[in-house]
Amino acid sequence: MPEENEPETAAGAAEQRIVIENCAVATVDAHDTEYATGHVVVRGNRIEAVGPGPAPGGPMGPVRRIDGTGHLVTPGLINTHHHFYQWLTRGLATEHHLFDWLVALYPVWARIDEPMVRAAAEGSLATMALGGVTTAADHHYVHPRGAGDLTGAVVGAARELGVRLTLARGSMDRGASDGGLPPDFAVESLDGALTATEEAIDRHHDPSPGAMTRIAVAPCSPFSVSAELMREGAALARRKGVRLHTHGSETVEEERFCHERFGMGPTDYFAETGWLGDDVWLAHCVHLNGADIAAYARTGTGVAHCPSSNARLAAGIAPVPELLAAGVPVGLGVDGTASNETGELHTELRNALLVGRLGGRRAAALTTRQALRLGTYGGARVLGRQAETGSLEPGKLADLVLWRLDTLAHASIADPVAALVLGAPAPVTLSLVDGRPVVEDGRLVTVDEAAIARATRAEAGRLAVLARAE
């Protein structure tokens, strides 16, 4: 990475600036401002300046200068839905739709423990960071008895890698004996789930501006959670001032289940249990009609769109153009790597655009700029952090990515945003989270990638042995 470190001056104790120049800039601000050649200046953990041409001159104190020739700088990617623990069960049940896939995998997932979850979280976060993710939301809802501190394992992994985290502390209280899909020993009691979720908030949630760790209340889904847990979970979240997250309207089977069990569709069920609102985001939202979309728009309910996972599980095509036209907040999600083995978000930029144009949709259902917005500002809006991140603007958190676009894979594409969204995964020359480097020249700088790979292989093998023994 071409760069120059200027000598420290009398302002030696001042915060170091990072100056990135000579690169294309896609700010993803309200006007989609772009510069063919521009600069970004970072001071401490905040963006200080963004603009065309070289950075302003004058004294700067300690500074690291980076020549971004041949690069594009964007806000960091924001993953709004994931299941980190699934890193250990990739490549299984590859020909199943959602319900059969869950039935096949729940008995395996019910054997996870703290070391497995720590290794899986490290593998998931490391892969995402290498692909430009700076903020990730993990929906962890499998808490087998005696498994250890699974919440602490995820939070610790994110802290070690330096990636911003929203941990959606999930829960299930409806096992197989009560008409649910998971084994009984993999679910919690109503009181146990609520108590453990509140403890996770009290221990790990940081409500302050610029927080690295946030907690959300996140019962798993209508078919694995009682209506009481949904209602009381929503009340808990609002009492504690945190966000709410769950799966919603993912498959036709879920729609049928809701009508049979509750006498209404998923959206009406969410409204009845307190799960529509501008503090809520729902994953998938594939099977929505016009009234559903209007309810989401009216209440400000957000959507985590997971195009690759929806295709892998044959769930269908989410009506993202219609959601966006109605003003619904929409971000992108990797989803768990048991249904999206790549485990990185760049693929979702491309697939959101391509899938959005299928069926009866017009060719311009989504544009490359809209796809980039879904993966950046859209994700920030879904997680309630749009005032802090998701775009390159002075005063916002310094979460950004410098993508290399002058290699064989991209050099003949003149439009840098089109190159990033439609081209092969672009190498990451620099990724900053909170102003600190997490990736440089395509390598993680905070952790040992090889050690993580060894740990994930070992823990995946241990989980497979435990599952076979049952």
pLDDT tens digit sequence for 223-281: 899 999 999 999 999 999 999 999 999 989 889 989 999 999 999 999 999 999 999 99
- Which residues of the chain are in CATH 2.30.40.10 domains? 3-74+390-444
Predicted TM-score (pTM) of the model is 0.95
Beta bridge partners of 77: 133
Q: What is the pLDDT along the chain (470 residues), one digit of tens a residue?
A: 555 554 443 333 468 899 999 999 999 999 999 999 999 999 999 999 999 999 988 777 899 999 999 999 999 999 999 999 999 999 998 888 888 888 889 899 999 999 999 999 999 999 999 999 999 999 999 999 899 999 999 999 999 999 999 999 999 999 888 877 788 888 999 999 999 999 999 999 999 999 999 999 999 998 899 999 999 999 999 999 999 999 999 989 889 989 999 999 999 999 999 999 999 999 999 999 999 999 999 999 999 999 999 999 999 999 999 999 999 999 999 999 999 999 999 999 999 999 999 977 777 789 999 999 999 999 999 999 999 999 999 999 999 999 999 999 999 999 999 999 999 999 999 999 999 999 999 999 999 999 999 999 999 999 999 988 76
Angle at which helices 190-204 and 150-161 cross, to 10°: 30
Cβ neighbours of 53 (radius 10 Å)? 12
* 432 touches 210 (CB < 8 A): no
List, in order, residues 6 or more apart from 202 with CB less than 8 Å away.
Answer: none
Sign of CA dihedral 233, 238, 241, 245: positive
Q: Does domain 3-74+390-444 have CATH number 2.30.40.10?
A: yes
- Domain spanning 77-382, CATH architecture: Alpha-Beta Barrel (3.20)
- Which residues of the chain are in CATH 3.20.20.140 domains? 77-382
The span from the CA of 319 to the CA of 299, in Å, is: 18
**First CA to last CA distance, the chain:** 51
The span from the CA of 282 to the CA of 301, in Å, is: 8
The span from the CA of 309 to the CA of 286, in Å, is: 11
The span from the CA of 164 to the CA of 135, in Å, is: 4
Name residue 356's amino acid: G
